[in-house]
Amino acid sequence: MVVDDGLPKATDYFSLDELLTEEERDVRDKVRSFCDADVVPVINSYWQNEEFPFELLPKMAALNVAGTTIEGYGCPGMSPTAAGLVSRELARGDGGLTTFFAVHSGVAMTSISMLGSEEQKDKWLPPMARMEKIGAFGLTEPNHGSDAALLETAARREGDEYVIDGSKRWIGNASFADVTVIWAREEHGKVGTFLVERGTPGFEVTITTGKTSQRTVLNTDVRLEGVRVPAENKLANSKGFGDAVRVLTPTRHNVAWEAVGHAMSAYESALAYARERVQFGRPIASFQLVQSKLANMLADITAMQTLCFRLSQLRAQGRMTIGAASLAKMHNAQRAYQVVADARDILGGNGILLEYHVARHLADMQAVYTYDGTDTVLSLVVGREITGQQAFS
């Protein structure tokens, strides 16, 4: 819900839009239009029913944004700022759809782009860019989340094949993906990256149900029992767990932008509601406590966006560190959660109804606060970078 009545722009108080190139504005506008016209009107029922909106995939594919910053292979090769705007605008529509896209376009395609051979990239990236083929990403395990470096899924070489055994958890898209990027420990101890294609025997998927957050993305438990993949399905330039860090650091940048989208949507809804809701004979927007809350929400959104713009500049210059990406994600998840909670409060009892959309964003922020690094772990990543001391093993 965008407020446009001659007052300052609801969520662009410092005119950050002026920093965008024409191409970046075009990306923002087409993704926003898609969410406003196609996502928001239908998403509540999908969220309530824990269903993925497959009907939206053709329209999402037509946006031509999959692959974001990847150059060539049919990918758009957009700027880091534009990639961040895609995440922000999708999150204004729905968190689960954002996570679907982050898994497919972000970590799955990025793994192939960073670590694959030319043959592997030629085979997978063009159809994935067109979203004719969908990707998933299998790193987290039932017993290894924040300490994913200790993963136990194992891969052993047998002739011209690798045999993979183990378990993965919280794997988005895997129930319908055409290819899942699986991280597994090889016999020499190093972690390798493997492409497991849909229908491979021994690859068993169970959809996670009963979630109270990100209900439209299909997370799964994956069991791999004697899964055989051709040797050519090991990503050719995969050298160890450090590759996972390389893949996930840009994702952390995008999640920082995603948090802004949740906050923007909730703030815009709260501002519009406060202007229209009359209590004690006047709009609640005229009450001092409501104005104070809205002002602090806007301050957080402005700070979050400014942080994202600068982080995108650093990424474009090749200067974004894991600590910088972690700080942005940590800060923005914290502040976005508070903004959305304050929006729910301004809406009073109506704030818990799906029809007002704020409750859905509040629930979805619970997951954003945790994935791609918990608040605690990210603080230690930043702490390590600024002190030179490792606080966790």
Nearest to 369 by CA among 339, 347, 392, 346: 339
Q: Which pTM does this prediction carry?
A: 0.95
Whether domain 242-387 has CATH 3.40.50.2300: the reply is no
Superfamily of domain 16-129: Acyl-CoA dehydrogenase/oxidase, N-terminal domain (1.10.540.10)
297-321: pLDDT as tens digits? 999 999 999 999 999 999 999 999 9
Q: What is the DSSP code (8-state) at residue 186?
A: E
Contact by Cβ (8 Å): 336, 263: yes
In the chain, ranges of CATH 1.20.140.10 domains? 242-387
pLDDT of res. 9: 65
Mean predicted lDDT score pLDDT of the chain: 95
In the chain, ranges of CATH 1.10.540.10 domains? 16-129
pLDDT of res. 393: 65
Beta strands in the chain (DSSP E): 71-72, 75-76, 135-138, 154-158, 161-168, 179-186, 191-197, 203-207, 220-230, 278-279, 282-283
In the chain, ranges of CATH 2.40.110.10 domains? 135-233
pLDDT of res. 96: 97
Q: Give the residue ranges of the chain where pLDDT is below 50.
A: 1-8
pLDDT of res. 242: 92
* Tokens describing residue 3: 């407020």
164-210: pLDDT as tens digits? 999 999 999 999 999 999 999 999 889 999 999 999 999 999 999 99
CA Rg, the chain, in Å?
21
Nearby residues of 266 by Cβ (< 8 Å), 6 or more positions away: 339, 340, 343, 344, 357, 358, 361, 362
What CATH architecture is 135-233?
Beta Barrel (2.40)
